[in-house]
A and B are shown apart, each in its own frame.
Chain A
Amino acid sequence: MSAIIVSGLVSGSLYALMASGLSLVWGALGVFNFAHGVLLMMAAYAAWWVSSSSGLGAGLAAGVVAAVVFSALAGALLYWVLVRPWLGKPDAELSVIMTTIAGAIFLENLVLEVFGGHYKELDQVVTGTVMLAGTTVQAQDLMAIFLAPALLGGVAALLTRSRTGLAVRAIAQNRDAARLLGINIERIYLVTFAVSAVLAGIAGITIAGLFSISPAMGNDPLLRAFVVVVFGGLGSLIGTIAGAYVIGMVEAVSSYYIGIYWTPVVLFLVLIAVLTVRPTGLMGRAP
């Protein structure tokens, strides 16, 4: 039983990290970033390349730091190349879906070309096991469980207290009024993308330690993150985080009792049920 809970919490934490970045970008810019999963994957490769003896061999700590910095830069660059040129144009939402999907396919294949198809392994940030409520838990799992709430709490604090965080929310609520306060919308968009990419990157480094690294490793988390964002309610960060843990738990329970192959079916059934009762998601607002 506690094994199921731990597994649900780990998935929930990872989904929360992934989905909140997606949700932030959606809230501020009104677009979906389909290259979000690729950001996760590239951060894992960056960490591996810097830390592994097959790469720079600079050690895990350097790898993690490099991957986080890389994520921020990659997020900013992605915004600049794939998103910014289409903002403010008619049907920007659709154009950005196309450009980010195209970018994702390109980058995934680029990584495949450069690093090859063999799965890579990243050392765990914390190693060993811990006994918890009668279950043996990997320390890395435990780290994920504590890291996600801490990071997301930090993001939430920035959004309510910092000048830039308030500006992100202002843009999401009333773009013209935000501009009239002297807010540089472009800069805030860039920062939002960078923060979102860092959250995805940290999820990527954690997943890399728990499972393995491959060019397609971001696809599944991206799909889950979309389910979470819709489930939790578009534009609500709290809803997204709550949704991530609910989905993580449902998945863990269903994998245990029903089996891993039927879990996606269960997941979508839950999603459909919730959207039938609450069309805007758990905490979404009517548009």
Chain B
Amino acid sequence: MSLVVEDLRAGYGRIEVLHGINIEVPDGSRIGLFGPNGHGKTTLLRAISGLLQLPRGRVRFGGDDLTGANTQRVVECGIIHVPQGSTLFPRMTVLEALTLGAYSPHAWQRRRDNFDRVFTLFPRLSERRDQQCRTLSGGERQMAAIAIGLMGDPRLLMLDEPTLGLAPKVRADLEQRIQTIAESGVSMIIVDQDVELLFGLCRRLYLIEQGRVSLEVADRGEVQHQEVLRRYFGTVSA
């Protein structure tokens, strides 16, 4: 099941934010999105997951045309979007929030297996299962957010800034877990400001600027690495 996005245009009300985006996520692979804030990375994820009204262009996942589909249909097809801002449900216990993650019918049937999978991946969440989500630490909240996504039994997982605001050690730990999820065959779109992290996790990177893909990086050759840093930060410091 590969995701193909063609000439996607979407926005909020009359304001168009995405001016024709083309990206592709081959089955079982990871792509990374980076670029300045406010240029459309999150909007792209929201358009794919059906949160935006009337997008134009095309979104296909495997054989399904998901252009303009509602969130339920997108989730039922196996595309799970873990939104930015990690405290999803502050006044729920970790266990309740994870249970909710399996809300869609096909995930609900597989929730026992997925609980095992999630608690094996994040033993810390198992210890915290009866705690309210708002009492978790920053790293634990992010783990919970990703775990809720995994409970949805994803074929394609979209993570929006999973390491935002985390300490380097916590971040490295989380990167390891994301790697583990990827190795289980789940396709991923990862949005992050940390280009190094994306290079570590993804096969292909897209720089999103002003609602368009302004650069596509297919392998992590040093030349292109330099190019990315130059375009992204303006200069490459020695």
Would B91 and A181 count as touching, CB distance under 8 A? no
CB-defined contacts of A176 to chain B, threshold 8 Å: 51, 83
CB-defined contacts of B101 to chain A, threshold 8 Å: 181
Would A173 and B91 count as touching, CB distance under 8 A? yes
Would A173 and B96 count as touching, CB distance under 8 A? no
Most A Cβ at <10 Å: residue of B49, B82, B89: B89
For the complex, count residues of B whose C-beta is within 8 A of A.
Answer: 27
Closest approach, in angstroms, between the C-beta of B115 and any C-beta of chain A? 15
Contact bitstring A178-195, B, C-beta under 8 A = 1, else 0: 111111100000000000
Closest approach, in angstroms, between the C-beta of A243 and any C-beta of chain B? 18
Contact bitstring B61-85, A, C-beta under 8 A = 1, else 0: 0000000000110111000111100
Query: Contact partner of A160 among B74, B81, B96, B103, CB < 8 A?
Result: B96
Would A177 and B152 count as touching, CB distance under 8 A? no
**B182 on the A face (CB < 8 A):** no
CB-defined contacts of B71 to chain A, threshold 8 Å: 179-180, 182
Give the docked Cα–Cα distance between A170 and B148 (Å): 12
Give the docked Cα–Cα distance between A113 and B146 (Å): 57
CB-defined contacts of A183 to chain B, threshold 8 Å: 72, 103
Would A163 and B83 count as touching, CB distance under 8 A? no
Majority-rule SS of A interface residues:
helix
**A22 on the B face (CB < 8 A):** no
Most B Cβ at <10 Å: residue of A160, A166, A167, A177: A177
**A174 on the B face (CB < 8 A):** yes
Least CB separation from B88: chain A residue: A177
CB-defined contacts of A166 to chain B, threshold 8 Å: 92, 96, 99-100, 103
Would A174 and B104 count as touching, CB distance under 8 A? no
**B123 on the A face (CB < 8 A):** no
Contact bitstring A140-178, B, C-beta under 8 A = 1, else 0: 000000000000000000001001001101100110111
CB-defined contacts of A178 to chain B, threshold 8 Å: 100
Would B92 and A181 count as touching, CB distance under 8 A? no
Chain B: residues with CB nearer than 8 A to chain A?
Answer: 49-51, 71-72, 74-76, 80-83, 88-92, 96, 99-101, 103-104, 107-108, 148, 152
Top 10 nearest A-B pairs (CB, nearest first) are: A182-B75, A182-B104, A177-B88, A181-B103, A179-B71, A173-B89, A182-B72, A166-B100, A180-B81, A182-B103
Given contacts A169-B89, A182-B104, A182-B107, 14 further A-B contacts (CB under 8 A): A163-B99, A163-B103, A169-B92, A170-B92, A173-B88, A174-B88, A177-B89, A178-B100, A179-B71, A180-B83, A181-B148, A182-B72, A182-B76, A184-B72
